[in-house]
Amino acid sequence: TSAAMAAVCCRGMLAPFGGWLLAHQRSPFRFWSRSRSTAAAAAAAPLYDVVVSGGGMVGSAMAAVLGHDIHFHDKKIALLEAGPRKEYNHVPDTYSNRVSSISPGSATLLSSFGAWDHVCSLRLKPFQRMQVWDACSEAMIVFEKDDLDDMGYIVENDVIMSALTKQLDAVADRVEVFYGSRAVGYTWPLPSHMCGTSPWVQIELADGRRLQTRLLIGADGHNSVVRKEAEIKNIEHQYDQSAVVATLHLSEATNNNVAWQRFLPTGPIALLPLSDTASSLVWSTSREHASELLTMDEESFVDSINSAFWSNVNHSDFIDTAGAMFRSALSFLRPSGSAVRQLPPSVAKVDPESRAMFPLGMGHATEYVQHRVALIGDAAHRVHPLAGQGVNLGFGDIACLAHHLSAAAFNGNDLGSLKHLLKFETERQRHNVSLIAAIDVLKRLYSTKLAPLVLLRTWGLQATNALPPVK
Amino acid sequence: QLLLFRLTVKRPFSTSRSSVDPKEIKKFQFLAQKWWDEDGEYSALHSMNDIRVPFIRDTLLNMSSNYHLGSPLSGVKILDVGCGGGLLSEPLGRLGASVTGIDPLEDNIRTADQHKSFDPVLAQRIQYKCSSLEEIVEESMETFDVIVASEVVEHVADLEMFIKCCSQVLKVRETQLSYVLGIVVAEKILGTVPEGTHEWEKFVPPEDLERLLESNGFSVTTVNGMLYNPLWGSWSWTESTSINYAMHAVKSGAQGQSSPTDAPSETESKQHSATAGTAL
């Protein structure tokens, strides 16, 4: 036993030399309290190379990417999803109220295994411009690509799921999907296994079935059971905010290729284009206000939205003057610095039954990996929707993890080995932490009417808009 | 406690053992963990896989006529001489090869067997035998496509005999070549070694090894230098072959003949330098 402890402590001491940039400690004695399964019980359960727990957009995409990887040709993958199979061959007439802003990088990932073609054949809306502005001042920032390429795509989550399901079917000989299955228990192996104990992760499903796997990928959302069972600490914070979503119909048809977002003191309101006549609403606001919005009649709801985008009630003369002065100073220095302000569309009506709300919070796991375990998507990091980054971070996790697993498979390595899992963790934490922190700061910065902060963010936004490198 | 353990194990070959002796089991568990702890004493051997497995794999990819997707070494029969706890046999097995691992130390073979036992894929593709190369020649004439000898050559008393045995167990075919891969490591970076194996240490420079191979029906195609970075615990290829090196050799169909258009074979011989102390 002392040898095992020594072995584990040795890893803890050697860890800094493994190329880590973040100095966090892994508990050296954590593995010791795990239960060990007997060889007999373990022997019966089928052994997979990879089990992905959680069949949402990120989990399904992870399983599909691995299933299409050439070095995984002979491997066995399982995907566990508590819900039913989601697929349709043609889109329903009404839009779903849950949409995502897909970045070009995510689109590239989805097309790498053939899912993007299905998305395109179902329904999506490209946009070329993002206009973001403040309710408390005239400050505005516009994002667009130089060559007017697509900045991103607004896609209904159901459409993405349908595309992923199709591509999972295409590799059904490698990827086994368990619908209506929920994992209720995990048994972790010791890092250097002792005689008679299984070195694999044991999974027990709600219906009593058991699986074993060389690598468990937790893609089960911000309340991740995998993360909790693995005793990975999670830094989390519930925002006193909820997001209200709805499908809106515009007053008049327009070249609806701009994503709009206005920062109100209560939270940002965003209008994401679905078609030339429809847009999707994502309005992050206080919980009370969110409940009010859900219960009020449709007319009042539409009025609230239009008012939120058009009203200048939060402007103060002081801020307006200060902002205007800064703007003229900027235009003196950089004549072409400020872009033309477009006006957001006005809303005529809302799809009945399309109003819904969900709570918002932020979260970040201190570790993304452990021996034979990796976390991706919201299980690893949860962000505020204000930057439209949530699912794109998850797709970024997938691209990175798949790259490392593919190389490991081609080198004959044990897929659950911490060596390559740590590389994934370092890369993604380096990328994610600053972005998540920035989103959190933005959220807090824009949650106030206090003049100094408004001025700060006004000037900051105007300056940023005028300076391409900062953007 | 560590010292006591080393003193009690004197004999290199232990064939009889009581399976319920708790002291034996404890000692065996201790050894097994040492081998397979990636950050432990054998960490340099583990990290060496990062260059030697791709090296072996890429060379043998040329050999396999039908590339099996996802299983690059499928159909290749490999003999891993001095397999130890199975650190090299397992990745080769995962890539699809049929591996026979031999080691004169019973404890090593037991460790290797036990480690692969839970993995149905490896259990099928790898078999271990407690034996020296000379002892298996009789039953394994012309059986293998490839021999890998990693950190073995430096501990062999009669190197010429060793090479002759290699030649005997390698297949001879008209259309395909058989390879010998040797890896030679001069630095004392591999921690403590199991009792009995490293009693004999002799530095074999690449020129000498090449000469011996060439005069026994092999044709040496490549010698690559290897460098160990102790800070990061990683290996890399390097120009100089004076400390550690990997060597490729092909067994020719006709004695001593090989055309320059033949696919290269790989002998990776690791040599220990008796004069080099710890290079750290």
Span A292-301, average pLDDT: 93
Query: Mean pLDDT of all residues in chain A?
Result: 84
Closest alpha carbon within chain B to A197: B118
The answer for residues whose C-beta is within 8 angstroms of residue A313's C-beta and 6 or more apart is none
pLDDT above 70 (res B268) = no
Tens-digit pLDDT profile for residues A85-142: 988 888 899 999 999 999 999 999 999 999 999 999 999 999 988 888 777 666 677 7
Closest alpha carbon within chain A to B231: A17
CB-CB contact of A280 with A248 (8 Å): yes
pLDDT above 70 (res B128) = yes
Q: Is residue B276 part of a domain?
A: no
Q: Which of A436, A380, A417, A418 is nearest to A62 (CA)?
A: A380
What pLDDT does A29 receive?
A: 38
d(CA A137, CA B108): 74
Residue with tokens 């089991």, as numbered in its chain? B25
Q: Is residue B115 part of a domain?
A: yes
Closest alpha carbon within chain B to A17: B232
Span B63-75, average pLDDT: 78
Q: Which of B19, B38, B58 to mutate to test the interface with A (most CBs of A within 10 A)?
A: B38
Q: Give the range of the structural domain holding residue B88, as residue numbers without chain letter.
A: 22-64+73-193+203-231+240-251
Please check whether residue A74 touches B, CB under 8 A.
Answer: yes
Q: Of the segments A95-109, A337-351, A427-441, B138-152, which one has the largest average pLDDT value?
A: A95-109
The CATH number of whichever domain residue B56 belongs to comes to 3.40.50.150
d(CA A393, CA A389): 6
Instruction: Test B90 with A414 for CB contact under 8 angstroms.
Output: yes
What pLDDT does A10 receive?
A: 35
Partner B, chain A 129-158, Cβ-Cβ below 8 Å: none
CB-CB contact of A29 with A5 (8 Å): yes
Q: Is residue B260 part of a domain?
A: no
Q: Is residue B159 part of a domain?
A: yes
pLDDT above 90 (res A275) = yes
Of the candidates A3, A42, A412, the beta carbon closest to that of B95 is on A412
Q: Is residue B216 part of a domain?
A: yes
pLDDT above 50 (res B54) = yes
Instruction: Test B37 with A10 for CB contact under 8 angstroms.
Output: yes
Looking at the structure of chain B, the number of domains it has is: 1
Instruction: Test A17 with B120 for CB contact under 8 angstroms.
Output: no
Instruction: Test B70 with A75 for CB contact under 8 angstroms.
Output: yes
pTM: 0.83
Q: Of the segments A7-11, A217-221, B107-111, which one has the largest average pLDDT value?
A: A217-221
Please check whether residue A32 touches B, CB under 8 A.
Answer: no
Please check whether residue A410 touches B, CB under 8 A.
Answer: yes
Please check whether residue A406 touches B, CB under 8 A.
Answer: no
> DSSP per residue over A330-366, as a string?
HHHH-TT-SPPPPPPPPEEEE-TT--EEEEEEEEEES
pLDDT above 70 (res B79) = yes
C-alpha distances in Å from residue A188, one per residue of A35, A182, A197, B36, B207: 7, 17, 11, 18, 50
Structure tokens at B261: 């258009």
| CATH number of the A47-470 domain | 3.50.50.60
Contacts of B232 in chain A (CB under 8 A): 17, 19
Q: Is residue B188 part of a domain?
A: yes
Q: Is residue B224 part of a domain?
A: yes
Q: Which of B2, B5, B33 to mutate to test the interface with A (most CBs of A within 10 A)?
A: B33
d(CA A6, CA A29): 10
C-alpha distances in Å from residue B193, one per residue of A298, B81, B83, B111: 79, 16, 13, 14
pLDDT above 90 (res A345) = no
d(CA B222, CA B62): 15
What pLDDT does B1 receive?
A: 27
Structure tokens at A433: 């932490």
Q: Is residue B31 part of a domain?
A: yes
- Three-state secondary structure call for residue A453: helix
